[in-house]
Amino acid sequence: MRYLAAIVLVCGWSALSAQTPGLVNTLMPEPAHVTAARGTLPLTNAFSVQVARFDSPRLEGAIRRALRRLSMQAGLTLAPAPAATPATLTITVAGAGEAVQSIGEDESYDLEVTPQGATLTSRTVVGAMRGLTTLTQLIQTGGDGYFLPAVHIEDAPRFRWRGLMIDSGRHFEPVAVILRTLDGMAAVKLNVFHWHLTEDQGFRIESKVFPKLTGMGSNGQFYTQAQAREVVAYARARGIRVVPEFDMPAHSTSWLVGYPELGSAPGPFAISPAFGVRDGTLDPTRDSTYQFIDKFIGEMAAIFPDPYMHIGGDESNGKEWRANPRIAAFMRAHHFATTAELQTYFNQRLAPILAKHGKKMVGWDEVLNPALPKNVVVESWRGVKSLAQGAALGYQGILAAPYYLDHMETAGTMYLADPIPAGTSMPPAEQKLVLGGEVCMWGELVDAGTIDSRMWPRSAAIAERFWSPASVTDVNDMYRRLTVESTRLEALGLTHRTHEAAALRQLAGSSDIGALQVFASVLAPLNLGQRQRQQHATPFTPFDRLGDAVRPDPAARRELDAAIQAFIAAPTAAGAAALKARFQQWTAAVPEVERQMDASPLLALARPRAEQLPALAQAGEQAADFIQQGTDAPAGWQQQQLDLISAAEKPQTLVRFTFLPELRKLVQAVPAH
Ligand code: ACM
């Protein structure tokens, strides 16, 4: 069978003859084995594809998407035409792979590029998708047209479960957001979309059996079953599983609004406008609760074909259970000393319901209890400890704790957090139970406008942690490749970079945002806890502040950190001048930022940061001078600067400075009396 691609040479490139440039590796995630070779395969309008063995609409869709990327990135006009022999790219896939993708799906591939052509070989269509993604990341230019460098790649993932979770419960995210997230996930070889669909703030998936779930529990913001099926199909087309989460027995207020009889308190219930741990909890003592869940799970199982279903299980505070005399009596009758034991009873009753509908249970780490069947998968959100505890008890696990995007950690920090850390005391047999990890995008503080900038490009760094060999840990090299990947992700339609400038223009009420961009380059958002203490956001809070515009891990932080570290190690005059130029640029931006703040009450909320910046910049300038000249600072100078830095570290105004730790080191490096 043959895949018809493109061979018509409309206007050929001049031959890329003399050059033999090597591979410039911008691959992300880094493949398991890369061997660079000599020579290049020029990309021309004559690029053609042959599918040598197994073919299917799913494979052809993946090839079409890859060709579109190739066409866009290399400026190729690829028109349908009779297939060429031999083709530029020959794809040999052994078979379709699993009808419903499981954790066992073979995602490996082999990609060979020579000056004569490229071959992609895989056992499954998903493996071919992974290889096609790598192929499009190989595109290089020597200034004279585009080419693929000669290379041999043998690749397979380190972990089978490489997830990204979106919480559509606390803030509803439109289908368009979900679809473009799936595009981003496929681009970095993530393979599980974990969809958190129910929360205290909203029930987001249509039930035809229980229409009041969304009818009364969603404020009208929910996915229809047709939309959910569209998401599942879109994900499958990209080799991504969809694992839905229906959080039980807590985080379930939205269930109770329409069906108060499920609750552990008398009700009535209303959608909770407050985030955090709420009291609303399903009643685990009534058979009618399980009959309801059985029907609901049965309905959902028909929409979500994945073998796994997530039942949440987190943060059940047991308050309503203890307060309800009937439930308290039930606990006594069953000799349950704690509400955690009652929750285990609840999970024990859920397990056969899930099994009946062909599903295995995933739950947050509170579900961990040896009384549960051994096919339960534990998702560890409170730390790596429960992952190890679960493995010791024989449970498979997924690590989420280090990958909470709302903690606003840098890509570098999250990158180094490994589901199986080097030097782990876990025995090899237990390490095998660690299926992988998940990036978690909780929904308290994101909407369709801001969510991409919180997810990307940081999720790409975590994706590499899940896919690449454990030995791939060079943070600087990760950032070098991440910068390139970020631009590729942008080409897919993700708004992680364009959002900041658009939001700054909105805030300033002006297109003239040069000064504001300098200011924004030294700022990052507060993390969830810090921000909630400042603002107490609800589902109705608009995300239109400076803290929503700025990015979690701006490039300027790394550049400055590197410049300061290099200068402290070797305090040259040129190094001092370069540092001082940066600090002076900040100071120079402040008057214009303050003028725009005068005209914009929303922007003015961040005024304290604008007021703090010049003194911090001055501390940096003076430190650079003292260090470079080798002169002692005047008595008290150092302490004064450290006090300034400490004051600037206090969370306020929804934004924080990114450079304070490095500035502190610079000030401390000044020779003292
Ligand atoms: C969680 O963060 N409550 C799973």
CB 438 within 8 A of CB 379: yes
Do residues 119 and 259 touch, judged by C-beta distance below 8 A? no
Report the alpha-carbon distance of residue 169 to residue 254 in Å, rounded: 9
Among 462, 488, 514, the domain boundary falls at: 488
Whether residue 615 sits in one domain with residue 474 = no
- One domain for residues 400 and 256: yes
Residue 601's pLDDT is what?
97
Determine, yes or no, domain membership for 493: no
| Domain final residue pick, 155, 175, 209 | 155
Place of tokens 């339960």: 376
407 lines ligand 1 (CB under 6 A): no
Q: 324 with 395, same domain?
A: yes
Ligand 1 contact via 55 beta carbon (within 6 Å) = no
Domain co-membership, 432 together with 575: no
| Structure-token pair, residue 419 | 């589901």
Domain count of the fold of the chain: 3
Return d(Cα 91, Cα 113) in angstroms, integer: 12
Give me the domain span that covers residue 215.
161-488
CA distance 213 to 292: 12
Which of 155, 175, 198 is at the close of a domain? 155
pLDDT at residue 55, as a whole number: 97
- Say if residue 182 is in the same domain as residue 296: yes
Gap between the Cα atoms of 659 and 521, Å rounded = 10
Strand partners, 112: 119, 152
Domain annotation covers residue 391: yes
**Quick check: CB of 364 below 6 Å from ligand 1?**
yes
- Mutational test site, ligand 1, from 314, 316, 379, 407, max ligand atoms within 8 Å of CB: 314
Residues with pLDDT less than 70, the chain: 1-21, 673
Q: Quick one: 628 and 658 in the same domain?
A: yes
In terms of Cα–Cα distance, which of 365, 277, 258, 270 is closest to 320?
277
In this structure, are 480 and 407 located in the same domain?
Answer: yes
Q: Say if 62 falls within a structural domain.
A: yes
Rounded distance, CA 208 to CA 303, Å? 12
CATH number at residue 243: 3.20.20.80
Q: What is the per-residue pLDDT for 14?
A: 34
Do 62 and 172 lie in one domain? The reply is: no
* β-pair partners for 524: 656
Kindly name the residue from 154, 230, 315, 341 that is annotated as catalytic.
Answer: 315
Write the residue with the smallest CA distance to atom 3 of ligand 1. Answer: 314
pLDDT of residue 235: 98
Which two three-digit tokens encode residue 208?
Answer: 């035809």
**Cβ atoms of 638 and 667 closer than 8 Å:** yes
Rounded to the nearest angstrom, the distance between the alpha carbon of 401 and the centre of ligand 1 is 9
- The whole-number pLDDT of residue 673 equals 64
Residue 659 falls inside a structural domain: yes
User: Do 136 and 172 share a domain, yes or no?
Assistant: no
Specify if 673 maps to a domain.
no
Nearest to 611 by CA among 644, 564, 660, 659: 644
CA 381 to ligand 1 centroid distance, Å = 6
Instruction: Give me the CATH number covering residue 142.
Output: 3.30.379.10
Each residue of 359-401: pLDDT tens digit? 999 999 999 999 999 999 999 999 888 899 999 999 999 999 9
Q: Active-site residue 315, yes or no?
A: yes
Q: How far is CA 268 from CA 264, 279, 478, 599, in A?
A: 11, 13, 52, 46
Residue 167: CB atoms within 10 Å: 25
What type of residue sits at position 649?
E
One domain for residues 585 and 457: no
Residue 371 lies in a domain: yes
- Residue 383 CB partners (closer than 8 Å, separation 6+): 401
The reply to whether 105 falls in a domain is: yes
Beta bridge partners of 243: 194
Are 438 and 338 within one domain?
A: yes
For residue 374, the model assigns a pLDDT of 94
- Note if the bond before 268 is cis, omega within 30 degrees: yes
Residue 46 lies in a domain: yes
C-alpha separations of 589 from 576, 579, 584, 623 in Å: 20, 16, 9, 21
Asked if 59 and 496 touch (Cβ cutoff 8 Å), the reply is no
315 Cβ inside 6 Å of ligand 1: yes
Closest residue to atom 2 of ligand 1, CA basis: 381
Encode 549-602 in three state secondary structure: HCCCCCHHHHHHHHHHHHHHHCCCHHHHHHHHHHHHHHHHHHHHHHHHHHHCHH
Is there an atom of ligand 1 within 6 Å of 47 CB?
no
8 and 116, same domain (yes or no): yes
pLDDT at 144: 83
CA distance 641 to 222: 51
Q: Tell me the C-alpha distance between 324 and 282, whole Å.
A: 12
Q: Is the pTM of this model over 0.85?
A: yes
> Are the C-beta atoms of residues 4 and 55 closer than 8 Å to each other?
no
Half-sphere exposure of 418 (CA within 13 A, CB side): 15
